[in-house]
């Protein structure tokens, strides 16, 4: 029997709490051995989706299969092949790092010898050897998260769910975490990662599914998503208002956006060589002086903004 290409298939997931419809028909597929990022603002339904996919939560409609096992009916079979790293570090505070790893390994039904050996391997890999015999009360947030990720890998499950693994981490710990996640990916695991950081999805994931309000609003590779908001842009900034005004007149319909405060105009460019040169020639011919210019690639932030109608910044201050 040929193996299905998709390790995770969710179709039309629905979940509501009373009148509050949290998931409104989410569908997604994760190809075996790849990483999919579920990207969305707070309250989009990311954690709910992960909790359903990892058998923790009942759902009202739709189907989920993990490596062919039905999540609703074959929970035990699913739990044997998944690893989950939740938002709050799901580790035992009173136990040491090593005890946590061994205990979870045994609960994955590894033999005690295997659990011990894996624990030592992971402590090394996650740079926790020195802290291995200390209770978790003494761990920093970053160390806890690393241990949490290590725990979900103890039985080398082929499918791993990472629910906002870097939320709340400082930049250095985040980059260390990305390194660990990348190594996990290289080991061949199928990974579903949720994040509200566009950069994270961009850096790590093969495929991105953007959700908002319990619905999928876009999906594709980072490159594909970026191309939906257009090509590169040329931004030219001026020293004074008269140059800024004259430039707008000279460039006419080429101007895509203008920013009166920064005295900046943005032009859409299709052919970098031709369009940039002609824009500069127009300014030179009209004897307009500019202070700086730069070329921008569209970011996932632009995608997010154009899809959800709000930037990440808005959401954080909301």
Site residues for other proteins per CB under 8 A: 51, 54-58, 76, 79-80, 82-84, 86-95, 99, 103-111, 114-115, 117-118, 121, 135, 151, 154-156
Q: Shortest approach of other proteins to residue 41 CB, angstroms?
A: 21
> How far is Cα of residue 68 from the mean position of the Cα atoms in its chain?
25
Q: What is the spatial distance between Cα 268 and Cα 255, in angstroms, rounded to a whole number?
A: 7
Count of residues for the chain?
318
Q: Shortest approach of other proteins to residue 107 CB, angstroms?
A: 5
Between 31 and 121, name the residue whose CB sits nearer to other proteins: 121
Q: Shortest approach of other proteins to residue 71 CB, angstroms?
A: 12
Q: Shortest approach of other proteins to residue 81 CB, angstroms?
A: 9
Token digits for 240? 């004074």
By CB atoms closer than 10 A (0-12, 13-18, 19+), residue 248 is middle
Between 89 and 264, name the residue whose CB sits nearer to other proteins: 89
Q: Shortest approach of other proteins to residue 152 CB, angstroms?
A: 8
Between 91 and 303, name the residue whose CB sits nearer to other proteins: 91
Q: What is the spatial distance between Cα 29 and Cα 283, in angstroms, rounded to a whole number?
A: 50
Between 56 and 246, name the residue whose CB sits nearer to other proteins: 56
Between 186 and 260, name the residue whose CB sits nearer to other proteins: 186
Between 153 and 263, name the residue whose CB sits nearer to other proteins: 153
Between 55 and 207, name the residue whose CB sits nearer to other proteins: 55
Q: Shortest approach of other proteins to residue 185 CB, angstroms?
A: 16
Characterise 218 by phi-psi region: left (phi > 0), alpha (psi -120 to 50), beta (else). beta
Q: What is the CA radius of gyration of the chain?
A: 24
By CB atoms closer than 10 A (0-12, 13-18, 19+), residue 205 is buried
Q: Shortest approach of other proteins to residue 219 CB, angstroms?
A: 25
């Amino acid at each position: 029997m040929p193996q299905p290409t998709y390790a995770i298939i969710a179709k039309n997931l629905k979940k509501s709490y009373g009148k509050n419809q949290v998931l409104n028909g989410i569908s997604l597929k994760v190809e075996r051995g790849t990483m999919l990022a579920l990207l969305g603002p707070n309250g989009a339904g990311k954690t709910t989706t992960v909790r359903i996919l990892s058998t923790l939560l009942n759902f009202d409609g739709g189907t989920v299969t993990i490596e062919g096992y039905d999540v609703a009916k074959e929970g035990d079979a699913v739990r044997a092949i998944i690893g989950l790293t939740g938002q709050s570090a799901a580790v035992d505070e009173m136990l040491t790092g090593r005890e946590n790893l061994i205990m979870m390994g045994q609960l994955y039904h590894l033999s005690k010898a295997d659990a011990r050996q894996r624990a030592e391997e992971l402590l090394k890999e996650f740079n926790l050897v020195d802290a291995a015999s200390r209770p978790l009360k003494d761990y920093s947030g970053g160390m806890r998260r690393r241990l949490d990720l290590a725990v979900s890998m103890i039985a080398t499950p082929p499918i791993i769910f990472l629910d906002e693994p870097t939320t709340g981490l400082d930049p250095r710990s985040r980059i260390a975490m990305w390194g660990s996640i990348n190594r996990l990916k290289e080991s061949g695991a199928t990974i579903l990662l949720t994040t509200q950081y566009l950069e994270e999805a961009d850096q790590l994931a093969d495929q991105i599914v953007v959700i908002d309000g319990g619905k999928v609003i876009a999906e594709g590779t980072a490159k594909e998503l970026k191309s939906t908001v257009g090509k590169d842009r040329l931004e030219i900034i001026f020293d004074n208002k008269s140059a800024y005004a004259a430039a707008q007149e000279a460039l006419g319909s080429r101007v895509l956006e203008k920013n009166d405060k920064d005295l900046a105009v943005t032009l859409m460019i299709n052919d970098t060589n031709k369009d940039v040169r002609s824009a500069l020639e127009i300014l030179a011919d009209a004897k307009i002086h500019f202070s700086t210019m730069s070329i921008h690639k569209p970011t996932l932030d632009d995608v997010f903004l154009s899809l959800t109608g709000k930037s990440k910044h808005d959401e954080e201050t909301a």
